[in-house]
Amino acid sequence: MYFDNTYEDKWLESDLAKEIVKDVDKSDLEGPNLVVSPVLGSIPVTRISGGAKTLIQIAFDDEHIFNVSACGDNCAKWLLKIGRDKDIFVRMGHIMHFPDESFDIKIANTGDVVHTPFELVEKVIKEGLLN
């Protein structure tokens, strides 16, 4: 709901937003006013998935910390991609399955920096971060 009431048109005119919607929603973001979905047909941008909305907000809104609980595992690679261009800070209430590649993720709760999906899961479980 936050996205629906705060997004800016210019975000939805960017190549990044279009790539996110294409990959996550398998839909074409035609601009700030139209998405073409192979399943739903022509829909307003407010009906794209929660994951796509969250990713777009993370990419373009630097003033807030976003909860990625609405993001499925298919959003993980996009978090890494956005994180390569700028530091991002998110709240993660579940273990997201990141791609099997090297990355730098700092767990704010403990200060640890993890570099692989295995290290992330191990640290989360050992520290009881989801308890």
Partner 1 sequence: MVGRYDIELYNNKVHYHLNIKRNITVLRGDSASGKSEFIRLLSAYNANPESSGITLISEKTCSVLTEENWRLFVESYKERIFL
Q: List residues bridging with 34 in a β-sheet.
A: 31
Q: Does 71 bind partner 1 (CB under 8 A)?
A: yes
Q: Does 93 bind partner 1 (CB under 8 A)?
A: no
User: What is the nearest approach in angstroms of partner 1 to the Cβ of residue 48?
Assistant: 8
Q: Toward partner 1, which CB reaches closer, 93 or 110? A: 93
Q: Does 26 bind partner 1 (CB under 8 A)?
A: yes
Q: Which of 17, 29, 52, 114 binds partner 1 (CB under 8 A)?
A: 52
Query: Which range of residues in 4-12, 36-44, 84-92, 106-114 is near partner 1 by CB under 8 A?
Result: 36-44
User: Rounded distance, CA 94 to CA 12, Å?
Assistant: 28
Q: How many helices (H) and strands (E) would you count in the chain?
A: 5, 7
Q: Toward partner 1, which CB reaches closer, 4 or 127? A: 4
User: Rounded distance, CA 109 to CA 113, Å?
Assistant: 11
Q: What is the DSSP code (8-state) at residue 79?
A: H
The residues, ordered by sequence, that sit 6+ positions from 26 with a Cβ below 8 Å of its Cβ are: 37, 38
Q: Toward partner 1, which CB reaches closer, 41 or 128? A: 41
Q: Which of 74, 112, 119, 123 binds partner 1 (CB under 8 A)?
A: 74
Q: Given 3-state DSSP classes, what are the helix, strand and coil percentages for the chain, each rounded to the nearest 5? A: 45, 15, 40
